[in-house]
Structure 1
Amino acid sequence: MFEHLHWANERLLEALQKIEGEKQEALRFFSHILFAEKVWLTRLQGLDSPPITLWDDVEIKDCAELVEQNKKGMTTYMKTLTNDDLDHIITYQNSKGIEFQNTVREILTHVA
């Protein structure tokens, strides 16, 4: 599923890079997805979610960097997982400070 996610992110990036003219709204939606992937990865790693504005206006180069960062980060993370790790419960707070708990398996499925 994550190979497909990375493939899709790269195809979206390529398509956005080819668009001439106004594409800020499309970049905004795409960057939201990429920022959310980054937040979920930090939660999976047991780190506090970075103070990321999920609805920022960004440039295409920022999206390109996020695509690569997320691919590298998630690939590295997934290589360390065992089957037992998938049932580990992650406790985190959403952007409004409300606490939630999900298993690694649930989070990975949601992100993919």
Structure 2
Amino acid sequence: MKHLHHYHVWANERMLDHILQFPDVFRKPSAGPFSTIARTFGHIYDVDRLWFTRMKETSLSAIGKTEFSDVQEAKEAFTALHKKMSQFLTLETDRNRMIHYENTEGASFQNTLSELVTHVVNHGTSHRGNVVVMLREAGYRSCPTDYIYFLRDL
């Protein structure tokens, strides 16, 4: 769990650091599932936050609609959240602990902690893929955030 979460943290940091080279693209309107790269990262952040509250078996009244004003703000928010998540996962000894939670519509579900971490990582990977397309459509190159690059970077 910690290893997969470390990959997620690394990939978000790598992509945001890359976008720092082209700061104007972060809030540039784009076609895609979200209106801007800033909103895409806001969604990743909001969902990470939501699932983290579920992992801790606490509640979050609603999912946010974060749209960062600039890349640095996004980096700082992710750093703070991911630090808390990493600390939590370091202390958590039972990866198979069953987590009971409700989705945003109020339906009840249960999954293991490990399954929730895997979901968070996959969700981030999916939306970083959206960012790659948004960058290319704006005329900018992307950077690799595939898992194998993470392993090579260790």
Shorter-chain TM band: 0.7 to 0.9
Cα separation, 2, equivalents of 1:64 and 1:12: 10
Mean Cα deviation higher: 102-111 or 44-53: 44-53
Q: 2:49, 2:81 within 8 Å by CA — same for their partners in 1?
A: yes
Cα separation, 2, equivalents of 1:26 and 1:18: 14
2:10 maps to which of 7, 12, 17: 7
What RMSD, in angstroms, separates the aligned Cα atoms of the two structures?
Answer: 1.8
Give 5+ residue unaligned stretches, structure 2: 28-35, 122-154
Q: Larger relative contact order (C-alpha < 8 A, sep ≥ 6)?
A: 2
* Fraction of identical pairs, as percent: 28
2:54 maps to which of 43, 53, 74: 43
Q: 2:46, 2:66 within 8 Å by CA — same for their partners in 1?
A: no
Cα separation, 2, equivalents of 1:34 and 1:57: 10
Letter of the aligned partner of 1:90 in structure 2? I
Runs of 4+ aligned structure 1 residues displaced above 4 Å come to none
TM-score by length of 1: 0.83
Structure 2 partner of 1:77: 88
Structure 1 partner of 2:96: 87
Give 5+ residue unaligned stretches, structure 1: none
Q: Could you say which structure has the larger radius of gyration?
A: 2
Report the Cα offset of residue 68 of structure 1: 0.7
Cα separation, 2, equivalents of 1:40 and 1:107: 7
- Number of aligned positions between the proteins: 109
TM-score by length of 2: 0.63
Cα separation, 2, equivalents of 1:28 and 1:100: 28
Report the Cα offset of residue 28 of structure 1: 0.8
